[in-house]
Structure 1
Amino acid sequence: MGRHRGKHTEEPAERGRRRGRGGAIAALAAASAIVIVIAAAGVYMFGKGDGCGGSDLTLDIAVSPELGPALGDVADDFNAEEHTVDGDCVRASVREIDSANVAFGITGAGATMGETESDVWIPDSSMWTRIVQGQAGDAVVTETGTSVARTPLVVAERADLSEADDAPTTWMDVVPTDAPGEEDGRTVRVVDPARSSSGLGTLHLLHGALEGTGSDADTFNASMTAALQALHRGASADEEAAFLALSGGESASPVMVMSEQAVWRYNSVHGDAPARAGYPDEGTYYLDYPYIVRSEDSAITRSAEMFRTAVRSESAADRLLAEGFRGPEGERDPSVLTEEAGFLPEPRDELSSPSESSIEDLIRSWNQLKMDSRVLTIVDISGSMLAEVPGTGLSRMQVAGAASAEGLQMFSDSSELGLWEFSTNVNGDLHHQEIAPVRELQATDGSGNEHRDVLASALQNLEPLPQGDTALYETYLAAYQEMSRTYRPDRTNVILMLTDGDDDNPGGMELDELLSQLDSLSSPSRPIPIITIAFGPDVRNLEPLQEIAAATGGAAYMTEDPTEIGDIFLQAFSLRIADTEDDRD
């Protein structure tokens, strides 16, 4: 027993030494394990970089520029948090890009600059998504039902120049709809509606206001044409140019249609010339900043949904209000949209937004009028033009000349106009004579006179031929041949005839021959509409003029009162709007 115990039982000192060696080994093993865990965690954390693991998944978000400051901050907060999809870290990248630029990049319908592709798109208005859906049906444009921000269109004027009693109270007060020369002197600016939601929204509001008058089609088209022409004269290429005009940097400060948020932005950088916002009584159109997803990739769409949640958060809403936007119920930050600057605590009612077909029609009408005209005007100088217009003390020639000179105001400086006079044998054997060639109104002659002034003077100094007859058909043909020979595809080529009688040239061309000649000369790809304004009691039969108009895609008008020519000018040149409506029907 003693030996056995002696063999297997250690002395106290020996046990202590053995236990120390074993404990050190165990401690070393435990420490090694801890180091390994820490090292692994370190590799994991350094690989993660900012707190989440795996590779980065970048969510590319293209936003209307005015959203950039607020949504850039939202993206910073989003990226500071841990958002993952399938183990990848989602990082939101916000880029400011013009809404039209993205829309045209998708549809190919206009010029673009820079990269227009993105995973998420937040344009300033749902009008752009309707344009895209109508023109690029296979494009991925998924509406989420989220409006990131809202701001109504308002009428802005310089605070130091506006007068409360003169402020527009309806949308029809905003833009003149009268004949040229009859406007109230107000200069109205919009940003080009072909590239701007506020500009396009203005056209929509005016169109609705005019429809609400219950006018007949001719009156409506003429008024809409006058409104479009007035807007053309004051259109700015972009918002920067519009802001410059509003500040008085170009000339006298105009009235400007822009969003409420744009007025706030303008005031933030033009404190020396602040603007006040005006609100037409009948309501307005709102820019609604829709949240659009442009990808069908599962990881991207899930990432987009995460960021959509972020932009709907309370902190995001506060940031947007601080940038001059309104909330979904019209709420505002009163320290930003202040009543002192004219901003209303409660905005006006929201009017309906335009349909896809309405948007297309409005842009087409704008672009058609935007295209510079090329017009050959022909004025009757037959003997009957010497007759006096009852109640005026003026001859038909004088009234027609004055009305035509006023009509010049309809055309931009870069439009091309020319002038012929006609009767019988006015130039040897020819029945017409050129008074001024077709050239740009802003061009100057050898004496430095602008072509516009040359035409105005010539129109008011035309002299009738006492014995002259009316070689109408031969003159139509000669004019059509000349305009065909010099056709400009980049312009609207038109022949405008003013006459006070039917064709009266014994032995001259017959109507059937003229129509046959026009048919052989005309081409659908090179349209040259003939517009005739016939006036005075000597016009007995409008039907031949209507047949000529139908053969060329033009129009014929008749009035016994030459003083109505100015109004008829508007109706005549509203044909492009009427054609748009007909195409839609």
Structure 2
Amino acid sequence: MGKHSSAVTRSNSNRRAVYLTAVGLLVISLGAFFVVRSFGSEAGADGLLGGGSCDDPVQVKLSTTPDLQPQLESAAKSLAAKGGEDGTPCLQFTITGASSAKVAQDLASGSDQRPDLWVPDSSLWVARADDGESIPSIAVPSVATSPLVLVGRSENFANTSSWLGSFGGTQPALLDPLGTSEGALPLLAIQAERAKTSASNTQVASVLVPLAQRLGSMAKQYTEVDGPLSKASADGSNIVVPVSEHSFVKYQEDHPEAQLKAIVPGTGTLVLDYPVVVTARSNAEAVSEAGKALAQEMLGDAGAQARDDAGFRDHLISPLGAGRGVGDISQLTKPTAASVDKTLQSWATLSLSAHSLAVIDVSGSMAEKVAGSAKTRMQLTIEAAESGLKLFPDTAALGLWTFSTKIGDDSADYRKLVGISKLTPAHRGQMLSQLKSQTARVGGGTGLYDTAIAAVREVRSNYDSSAVNTVLLFTDGKNDDPGSPSLDSAIQALGRLRDPARPVRIIALGIGPDADATELNRLAQATGGRSYVARNPTDLQQVFIDALQSR
């Protein structure tokens, strides 16, 4: 708080927020557009809530999402006009428009450009604004609301039972979940609705893994709704877009020809709640009172019609007037701060490109038929790998080896089939062709340890710092190569190769009843990776999806 002159300024800013996750430093681009205006009493007050004349109004810096800025400006003007009358506070607000993600990042980094009050579009950002000293406090829970809706052509809403179901048969186009509330809330809704749907981790992963890979491969993430909504409205489009009801209503007004409808899945939805948050380092109580005064003005009868006209609901989430929007809604349980962090960190990991080497066991035991199936372990493994390949976008880089005792050059326990490279159509075709041609090697043993060490070295030699670097190791047994090092020696060798600054993790997938879970777990853990075992090989495809989710 302090003295400010009335001003209108515009500027563009791009900040890169750095998130520390289990896979390293993730750099997220956050864009923002700033509009600053001052509104306040021409005459002032003796104190923040003083009465009488307003010759010297108290200055309050407020930052808000640009969508709500006009409504807050109107409320500030109205409050200023009453300043000094009947105990009305004498305040002058300097209002700045900026994305909620950017303000949260600025606050968390301890920036000196700190507002006194902040009105983000969602309270999910409040905990993420923690600077290590204090978390901003909420003075008013909500001055407006807008539920998350799913927008698309009518023919794309065959399944509206849940968010996950609605995503399953369509092509969802999300705004950047790490930089926008409208992008984050759909992911949180999928997690929140599991209390009603009992969706398994595998069911969720089968939708979110390919979605994250596809959107993560985009040269630039969506940060505005017009782009994806325009694509969703095209004839024959199967795109659906989660946005706020406010965004949908405004898009309809600007594009009345668009053949789009908005729905809320049967499980319910989450809501953008626009809280008033105290971010001042000093005079917090006085700033809180200023925020409450502004909120009261905005929530009053005078502001109700303007708010509704702009496509915002009131703090009680009452339906919009004139039949606009989606009408009455049911709400999902609001996620906790811990749930928000976990979901967004998981997305950040999933959306990173892959730089991986798939290593497939072709030892003799892979020719065994699977109980209850007409297929062999080898056939089911190849099918799982083929399905997994479809999850990766063209920007991912993959390679392929097979392994069995003395199968390779110079009697190595591994054979290099396809080098690690981007999944161009030609490279993807080569991967598929090699996969389909593989058969189990009669009499071949499982040279697991030497192969694991060599595969990690291979990925390290082609390390990509912008991707998740992994070895995807498929096997149905345990090491039975008498000429290989011991398990302890293999663990030590993998430990020597481990570099926290350039991690290469083994994701081990055991197949069938003979897979040694302990051995695979020790090999994977030596690299910081994880192991999974599908005792029933018919479950391998789903286990593979689970493994990709935890890269």
1:432 aligns to 2:414 (yes or no): yes
1:205 aligns to 2:202 (yes or no): no
The whole-number CA distance in structure 2 between the counterparts of 1:58 and 1:457 is 69
- Which of 392, 405, 421 pairs up with 1:411? 392
> What is the CA-CA distance between 1:407 and the residue it aligns to?
0.4
Letter in 2 for 1:309: Q
Equivalent residue, structure 1, for 2:15: none
1:545 aligns to 2:527 (yes or no): no
> What is the CA-CA distance between 1:50 and the residue it aligns to?
5.1
Letter in 2 for 1:91: Q
The whole-number CA distance in structure 2 between the counterparts of 1:399 and 1:359 is 36
Change (3 A) 1:507 1:209: same
The whole-number CA distance in structure 2 between the counterparts of 1:406 and 1:311 is 53
Deviates more, 1:137-146 or 1:317-326: 137-146
1:142 aligns to 2:137 (yes or no): yes
> What is the CA-CA distance between 1:521 and the residue it aligns to?
2.3
Q: Which runs of 4+ in 1 moved over 6 A?
A: 86-89
SS of corresponding position for 2:126: helix
Letter in 1 for 2:409: N
The whole-number CA distance in structure 2 between the counterparts of 1:306 and 1:400 is 64
Equivalent residue, structure 1, for 2:336: 355
> What is the CA-CA distance between 1:524 and the residue it aligns to?
4.1
The whole-number CA distance in structure 2 between the counterparts of 1:306 and 1:389 is 70
Equivalent residue, structure 2, for 1:326: 313
1:441 aligns to 2:432 (yes or no): no
Letter in 2 for 1:99: S
Letter in 2 for 1:405: E
1:188 aligns to 2:188 (yes or no): no
TM-score (norm 2): 0.80
Letter in 1 for 2:326: F
1:172 aligns to 2:196 (yes or no): no
- Which of 499, 518, 531 pairs up with 2:494? 518
Change (3 A) 1:450 1:79: farther
The whole-number CA distance in structure 2 between the counterparts of 1:333 and 1:473 is 64
The whole-number CA distance in structure 2 between the counterparts of 1:328 and 1:521 is 56
The whole-number CA distance in structure 2 between the counterparts of 1:49 and 1:503 is 80
Q: Tell me if structure 2 keeps the 8 A contact 1:151–1:261.
A: yes
Letter in 1 for 2:352: M
Q: Where do 5+ consecutive residues of structure 1 fail to align?
A: 1-47, 177-183, 443-448, 577-585
Q: Tell me if structure 1 keeps the 8 A contact 2:43–2:56.
A: no
Equivalent residue, structure 2, for 1:35: none
Deviates more, 1:460-469 or 1:390-399: 390-399
> What is the CA-CA distance between 1:158 and the residue it aligns to?
2.6
Equivalent residue, structure 2, for 1:36: none
The whole-number CA distance in structure 1 between the counterparts of 2:106 and 2:94 is 20
Q: Tell me if structure 2 keeps the 8 A contact 1:422–1:471.
A: yes
Equivalent residue, structure 2, for 1:229: 209
Letter in 1 for 2:167: V
Equivalent residue, structure 2, for 1:283: 268
- Which of 554, 564, 567 pairs up with 2:539? 564
Change (3 A) 1:432 1:104: same
1:245 aligns to 2:231 (yes or no): yes
Letter in 1 for 2:275: P
- Which of 109, 119, 123 pairs up with 1:122? 119
Counterpart mapping for 1:464-543 below 5 A: 464-536=440-512, 539=514, 541-543=516-518
Equivalent residue, structure 2, for 1:270: 255
Q: Tell me if structure 1 keeps the 8 A contact 2:139–2:292.
A: no
The whole-number CA distance in structure 1 between the counterparts of 2:210 and 2:313 is 31
Change (3 A) 1:93 1:225: same
RMSD of aligned residue pairs (Cα, Å): 3.3
- Which of 326, 347, 371 pairs up with 1:343? 326
TM-score (norm 1): 0.76
Equivalent residue, structure 1, for 2:95: 94
Equivalent residue, structure 1, for 2:30: none
SS of corresponding position for 1:191: coil
Change (3 A) 1:482 1:83: farther
Change (3 A) 1:348 1:485: same
Letter in 1 for 2:166: V
> What is the CA-CA distance between 1:203 and the residue it aligns to?
1.8
> What is the CA-CA distance between 1:288 and the residue it aligns to?
0.8
The whole-number CA distance in structure 2 between the counterparts of 1:283 and 1:562 is 36
Change (3 A) 1:421 1:87: closer
> What is the CA-CA distance between 1:472 and the residue it aligns to?
1.5
SS of corresponding position for 1:378: strand
The whole-number CA distance in structure 2 between the counterparts of 1:270 and 1:124 is 24
Cα distance per residue 1:247-274 (max 9 Å; x no partner): 339x824122222212111211221114
Equivalent residue, structure 2, for 1:365: 346
Q: Tell me if structure 2 keeps the 8 A contact 1:119–1:293.
A: yes
> What is the CA-CA distance between 1:123 and the residue it aligns to?
0.5
The whole-number CA distance in structure 2 between the counterparts of 1:441 and 1:99 is 36
The whole-number CA distance in structure 2 between the counterparts of 1:513 and 1:49 is 77
> What is the CA-CA distance between 1:324 and the residue it aligns to?
1.3
> What is the CA-CA distance between 1:491 and the residue it aligns to?
2.4
Cα distance per residue 1:13-70 (max 9 Å; x no partner): xxxxxxxxxxxxxxxxxxxxxxxxxxxxxxxxxxx99566645654332221221232
The whole-number CA distance in structure 2 between the counterparts of 1:366 and 1:396 is 32
Letter in 1 for 2:208: L
The whole-number CA distance in structure 2 between the counterparts of 1:396 and 1:309 is 67
The whole-number CA distance in structure 2 between the counterparts of 1:51 and 1:470 is 85
Q: Tell me if structure 2 keeps the 8 A contact 1:169–1:279.
A: no
More helix by share: 1
Bigger Cα Rg: 1
> What is the CA-CA distance between 1:575 and the residue it aligns to?
2.8
The whole-number CA distance in structure 2 between the counterparts of 1:505 and 1:253 is 51
Q: Tell me if structure 1 keeps the 8 A contact 2:521–2:531.
A: yes
SS of corresponding position for 2:401: strand
